C-alpha cells in the first residue's frame, strides 16, 4: 500500500479536499468509533464519495493519512527540538509524551488499524529514528541505561499506546505510565512524584485480602 509520505504532490483544490476529508475523518472517528462508514466521512467533509475514493482507496489508507498528519503536526516538531536540546533523556520523554497525546486524542483512529504493526511502523519510522538518536545520546551522557535497545523502546511505546484502551479518550491518564517507563529507563530515578492515578473506565477493581 502506498504510504501517506509517498503520495504525489496535489493541485491546490485537490489538496484542500484531502485536508477536509482527513479533518472530517478525525471528527467522525471520535464521534462514531472505528466502524464509521466512509460515506459518513465524505458527507461530513462536504465531498462526494467519488472524491473520497479518488484520494483514499479504502478506510485503512485514510486512517493512516490522518494519523500521519497528526504525528507530523504534533510529534515531529517536538522530536526536532529534542534533537537540539542538551538533555537527551528529557528530550526522549518529551517525544514519548507527544506520541501519547496523539494516541489519546485519536484513540479511535488507532483502533481502526489495531494489530497492523507493519503499517504503523511505516508511518512512525522517522519518529523511531529520532528516538534511537536520543537514546544513544542519553546513554553517552550517562542519563539512560546502557542496556536498553531501540527495540526495547519501540516495544515500550507500543505497550503505552495499547494502554490507551484502558483510559478515557483525550484524558491525561497516560502521563502516569509514561512516568513509570521513565523511572525504568533512566540511570537515576527522577525526584518527582508520579502523576495522579486514574480509574479504568467501566471496570471496578477490588483489593484482594
Same domain, 46 and 147: no
Residue 5, domain member (yes or no): no
Residue 4, domain member (yes or no): no
pLDDT tens-digit series, residues 77-98: 999 999 999 999 999 999 999 9
Residue 167, domain member (yes or no): yes
Residue 116: domain span: 68-185
Let me know the angle formed at the C-alpha of 89 by 84 and 91, rounded to the nearest 5 degrees: 40
Let me know the angle formed at the C-alpha of 25 by 1 and 69, rounded to the nearest 5 degrees: 60
Query: How many CA atoms lie within 13 Å of 71's alpha carbon, on the beta-carbon side?
Result: 23
Q: What residues form DSSP beta bridges with 144? A: 186
Rounded Cα distance between 34 and 200, Å, is: 20
Same domain, 49 and 130: no
Residue 3 has pLDDT above 60, yes or no: no
Same domain, 89 and 167: yes
Question: Which parts of the chain are beta strand (E)?
Answer: none
Residue 204, domain member (yes or no): no
Residue 85, domain member (yes or no): yes
Same domain, 47 and 122: no
Q: How many structural domains are present in the chain?
A: 2
Residue 195, domain member (yes or no): no
Rounded Cα distance between 17 and 208, Å, is: 55
Rounded Cα distance between 90 and 85, Å, is: 9
Same domain, 91 and 137: yes
Rounded Cα distance between 87 and 96, Å, is: 15
Same domain, 172 and 72: yes
Rounded Cα distance between 89 and 92, Å, is: 5
Residue 133 contacts by C-beta under 8 Å, 6 or more apart in sequence? 83
Q: Assign residue 2 a region: left if phi > 0, alpha if psi is -120 to 50, beta otherwise?
A: beta
Buried (b) or exposed (e) across 115-144, using 16+ Cβ within 10 A? eeeebbebbbeebeebbbbbbebbbeeebb
Same domain, 53 and 81: no
Q: Of the ranges 31-45, 109-123, 181-195, which one carries the lowest mean pLDDT score?
A: 109-123
Same domain, 109 and 143: yes
Q: What residues form DSSP beta bridges with 186? A: 144
Same domain, 108 and 180: yes
The CATH number assigned to the domain holding 34 equals: 1.10.10
pTM (2 decimals)?
0.86
Same domain, 102 and 153: yes
Rounded Cα distance between 111 and 133, Å, is: 29
The CATH number assigned to the domain holding 88 equals: 1.10.357.10
Kind plus residue range of the DSSP H or E element containing 73: helix 59-74
pLDDT tens-digit series, residues 139-185: 999 999 999 999 999 999 999 998 998 998 789 999 999 999 999 99
Same domain, 38 and 19: yes
pLDDT tens-digit series, residues 8-66: 555 677 789 999 999 999 999 989 988 899 999 999 999 999 999 999 989 989 999 99
Amino acid at each position: 500500500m502506498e504510504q501517506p509520505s509517498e503520495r504525489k504532490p496535489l493541485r491546490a483544490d485537490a489538496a484542500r479536499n484531502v485536508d477536509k476529508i482527513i479533518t472530517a475523518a478525525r471528527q467522525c472517528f471520535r464521534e462514531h468509533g472505528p466502524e464509521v462508514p466512509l460515506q459518513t466521512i465524505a458527507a461530513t467533509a462536504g465531498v462526494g464519495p467519488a472524491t473520497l475514493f479518488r484520494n483514499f482507496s479504502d478506510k485503512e489508507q485514510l486512517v493512516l493519512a490522518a494519523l500521519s498528519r497528526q504525528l507530523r503536526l504534533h510529534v515531529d516538531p517536538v522530536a526536532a527540538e529534542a534533537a537540539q536540546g542538551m538533555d537527551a533523556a528529557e528530550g526522549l520523554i518529551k517525544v514519548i509524551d507527544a506520541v501519547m497525546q496523539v494516541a489519546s486524542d485519536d484513540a479511535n483512529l488507532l483502533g481502526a488499524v489495531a494489530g497492523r504493526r507493519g503499517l504503523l511502523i511505516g508511518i512512525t519510522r522517522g519518529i523511531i529514528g529520532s528516538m534511537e538518536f536520543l537514546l544513544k545520546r542519553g546513554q553517552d551522557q550517562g542519563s539512560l541505561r546502557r542496556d536498553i535497545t531501540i527495540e526495547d523502546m519501540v516495544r515500550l511505546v507500543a505497550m503505552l499506546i495499547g494502554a490507551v484502551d484502558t483510559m478515557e479518550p483525550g484524558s491525561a491518564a497516560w502521563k502516569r505510565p509514561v512516568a513509570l517507563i521513565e523511572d525504568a529507563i533512566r540511570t537515576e530515578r527522577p525526584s518527582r512524584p508520579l502523576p495522579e492515578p486514574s480509574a479504568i473506565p467501566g471496570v471496578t477493581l477490588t483489593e484482594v485480602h
